[in-house]
Amino acid sequence: MKTKTEKKFDTVAFFRAIKEKLSAKMAGMTLEQQKEFMQQVRDGKIKLA
């Protein structure tokens, strides 16, 4: 029988939280605004805290 180990970092929970933060910030934006916002996030100009 396998034992479940305690994880220090849960990847799925981390990325779900990031996805929720992004969707909250992009709510109500047009497609062009969303593209610009995502480019700024990728470039590091906007940090998700």
Rounded to 5°, the CA angle 39-18-31 comes to 40
pTM over cut 0.75: no
pLDDT digits (tens, 9 = 90+) for 15-40: 999 999 999 999 999 999 999 999 99
Q: Which two tokens mark 5?
A: 């180990």
Q: Which residue has the higher pLDDT, 2 or 15?
A: 15
Alpha-carbon torsion (33, 21, 9, 3), positive or negative = negative
Over 80: is that where the pLDDT of 1 sits? no
Over 90: is that where the pLDDT of 4 sits? no
